[in-house]
Amino acid sequence: MAATDHYSALIYAMVLVSAADGKMTDAELMAIGDIVRKFPIFRGFDQENLIAVAQQCTRVLNTNGNGLQAVLKLIHEGLPERLRETAYACAVEVAAVDDRINREEARVLELIRDELRIDRLASAAIEHSAQVRHMTS
Protein backbone atom coordinates (compact mmCIF):
# COMPACT_ATOMS: atom_id res chain seq x y z
CA MET A 1 0.00 0.00 0.00
CA ALA A 2 1.58 3.26 -1.14
CA ALA A 3 1.83 6.24 1.17
CA THR A 4 -0.24 9.21 0.10
CA ASP A 5 0.62 12.86 -0.21
CA HIS A 6 -1.73 15.45 1.23
CA TYR A 7 -3.57 15.86 -2.07
CA SER A 8 -4.29 12.15 -2.25
CA ALA A 9 -5.29 12.05 1.41
CA LEU A 10 -7.81 14.86 0.87
CA ILE A 11 -9.22 13.11 -2.20
CA TYR A 12 -9.35 9.78 -0.35
CA ALA A 13 -11.45 11.41 2.39
CA MET A 14 -13.92 12.71 -0.18
CA VAL A 15 -14.10 9.41 -2.08
CA LEU A 16 -14.54 7.50 1.16
CA VAL A 17 -17.58 9.50 2.24
CA SER A 18 -19.03 9.42 -1.28
CA ALA A 19 -18.72 5.63 -1.41
CA ALA A 20 -20.11 5.17 2.11
CA ASP A 21 -23.59 4.16 0.98
CA GLY A 22 -22.35 1.99 -1.87
CA LYS A 23 -23.08 4.48 -4.62
CA MET A 24 -21.21 7.56 -5.72
CA THR A 25 -23.78 10.00 -7.09
CA ASP A 26 -23.14 12.38 -9.96
CA ALA A 27 -23.63 15.28 -7.54
CA GLU A 28 -20.95 13.87 -5.22
CA LEU A 29 -18.52 13.29 -8.08
CA MET A 30 -19.13 16.81 -9.35
CA ALA A 31 -18.58 18.17 -5.83
CA ILE A 32 -15.23 16.38 -5.61
CA GLY A 33 -14.21 17.88 -8.95
CA ASP A 34 -15.37 21.35 -7.89
CA ILE A 35 -13.47 21.15 -4.61
CA VAL A 36 -10.28 20.08 -6.37
CA ARG A 37 -10.67 22.94 -8.88
CA LYS A 38 -11.66 25.67 -6.39
CA PHE A 39 -10.20 25.05 -2.94
CA PRO A 40 -6.83 26.78 -2.45
CA ILE A 41 -5.30 23.66 -0.88
CA PHE A 42 -5.35 21.99 -4.32
CA ARG A 43 -3.48 24.78 -6.15
CA GLY A 44 -0.41 22.60 -6.75
CA PHE A 45 -2.36 19.47 -7.68
CA ASP A 46 -2.47 18.32 -11.31
CA GLN A 47 -6.22 17.95 -11.86
CA GLU A 48 -5.55 15.42 -14.61
CA ASN A 49 -4.65 12.99 -11.80
CA LEU A 50 -7.98 13.24 -9.97
CA ILE A 51 -9.57 10.17 -11.56
CA ALA A 52 -6.45 8.06 -11.06
CA VAL A 53 -6.24 9.02 -7.37
CA ALA A 54 -9.95 8.31 -6.87
CA GLN A 55 -9.57 4.92 -8.56
CA GLN A 56 -6.54 4.14 -6.39
CA CYS A 57 -8.63 4.87 -3.29
CA THR A 58 -11.39 2.60 -4.58
CA ARG A 59 -8.89 -0.22 -5.15
CA VAL A 60 -7.62 0.10 -1.58
CA LEU A 61 -11.22 0.14 -0.29
CA ASN A 62 -11.96 -3.08 -2.15
CA THR A 63 -8.90 -4.98 -0.90
CA ASN A 64 -9.42 -7.85 1.51
CA GLY A 65 -11.73 -7.21 4.46
CA ASN A 66 -10.07 -4.14 5.89
CA GLY A 67 -10.11 -1.64 3.03
CA LEU A 68 -11.94 0.97 5.09
CA GLN A 69 -9.31 0.89 7.83
CA ALA A 70 -6.53 0.94 5.25
CA VAL A 71 -7.95 4.08 3.60
CA LEU A 72 -8.43 5.78 6.97
CA LYS A 73 -4.81 5.03 7.83
CA LEU A 74 -3.61 6.40 4.49
CA ILE A 75 -5.62 9.58 5.02
CA HIS A 76 -4.12 10.01 8.49
CA GLU A 77 -0.57 9.33 7.31
CA GLY A 78 -0.87 11.64 4.30
CA LEU A 79 -1.97 14.69 6.22
CA PRO A 80 0.03 17.05 8.36
CA GLU A 81 -1.93 17.96 11.48
CA ARG A 82 -2.72 21.44 10.15
CA LEU A 83 -4.71 19.94 7.23
CA ARG A 84 -6.84 17.48 9.20
CA GLU A 85 -9.77 19.87 9.61
CA THR A 86 -9.45 20.74 5.91
CA ALA A 87 -9.80 17.05 5.03
CA TYR A 88 -12.83 16.75 7.26
CA ALA A 89 -14.36 19.88 5.67
CA CYS A 90 -13.83 18.44 2.18
CA ALA A 91 -15.50 15.18 3.18
CA VAL A 92 -18.45 16.99 4.78
CA GLU A 93 -18.90 19.10 1.63
CA VAL A 94 -19.25 15.94 -0.43
CA ALA A 95 -21.68 14.37 2.04
CA ALA A 96 -23.83 17.52 2.21
CA VAL A 97 -24.20 17.97 -1.54
CA ASP A 98 -27.17 15.56 -1.71
CA ASP A 99 -29.23 17.81 0.63
CA ARG A 100 -28.90 15.44 3.56
CA ILE A 101 -26.23 13.32 5.14
CA ASN A 102 -27.45 9.73 5.30
CA ARG A 103 -26.63 7.28 8.06
CA GLU A 104 -23.75 5.60 6.22
CA GLU A 105 -22.15 8.92 5.36
CA ALA A 106 -22.55 10.12 8.95
CA ARG A 107 -20.83 6.96 10.18
CA VAL A 108 -17.91 7.39 7.77
CA LEU A 109 -17.60 11.06 8.75
CA GLU A 110 -17.45 9.92 12.38
CA LEU A 111 -14.67 7.45 11.51
CA ILE A 112 -12.73 10.16 9.67
CA ARG A 113 -13.24 12.58 12.56
CA ASP A 114 -11.99 10.00 15.05
CA GLU A 115 -9.03 8.92 12.90
CA LEU A 116 -7.94 12.52 12.41
CA ARG A 117 -8.71 13.46 16.02
CA ILE A 118 -10.93 16.37 15.03
CA ASP A 119 -12.38 18.17 18.05
CA ARG A 120 -16.16 17.68 18.34
CA LEU A 121 -16.81 21.42 18.52
CA ALA A 122 -14.74 22.02 15.38
CA SER A 123 -16.44 19.15 13.55
CA ALA A 124 -19.89 20.47 14.53
CA ALA A 125 -18.98 23.91 13.18
CA ILE A 126 -17.71 22.40 9.92
CA GLU A 127 -20.86 20.31 9.54
CA HIS A 128 -23.17 23.23 10.29
CA SER A 129 -21.34 25.45 7.83
CA ALA A 130 -21.74 22.88 5.05
CA GLN A 131 -25.42 22.37 5.83
CA VAL A 132 -26.05 26.11 5.69
CA ARG A 133 -24.21 26.40 2.35
CA HIS A 134 -26.24 23.58 0.81
CA MET A 135 -29.61 24.70 2.20
CA THR A 136 -32.50 24.87 -0.25
CA SER A 137 -35.78 26.61 0.27
User: Does residue 44 lie in a domain region?
Assistant: yes
Domain CATH code at residue 98: 1.10.3680
Separation of alpha carbons 7 and 12, rounded Å: 9
**Distance set, CA 40 to CA 64, 86, 117, 123 (Å):** 35, 11, 23, 20
User: Does residue 1 lie in a domain region?
Assistant: no
User: Does residue 14 lie in a domain region?
Assistant: yes
Residue 111 domain boundaries? 6-133
Give the pLDDT band of residue 84 (cuts 50, 70, 90): very high
Note if the pTM is more than 0.75.
yes
Instruction: Give the model's pLDDT for residue 2.
Output: 54
User: Does residue 43 lie in a domain region?
Assistant: yes
Give the pLDDT band of residue 100 (cuts 50, 70, 90): confident
pLDDT over 90, % of the chain: 78
Give the pLDDT band of residue 63 (cuts 50, 70, 90): confident
Instruction: Give the model's pLDDT for residue 16.
Output: 96
pLDDT over 70, % of the chain: 98
SS3 at position 27? helix
Q: What is the DSSP string of 68-135?
A: HHHHHHHHHHHS-GGGHHHHHHHHHHHHHTTSS--HHHHHHHHHHHHHHT--HHHHHHHHHHHHHHT-
Residue 103 has pLDDT above 80, yes or no: yes
Residue 110 has pLDDT above 60, yes or no: yes
Residue 16: CA count within 13 A, CB half-sphere? 32
Gyration radius from the chain CA atoms: 14
Instruction: Give the model's pLDDT for residue 134.
Output: 75
Give the total number of structural domains in the chain. Answer: 1
Residue 3 has pLDDT above 80, yes or no: no
- Which one is predicted more confidently, 133 or 29? 29
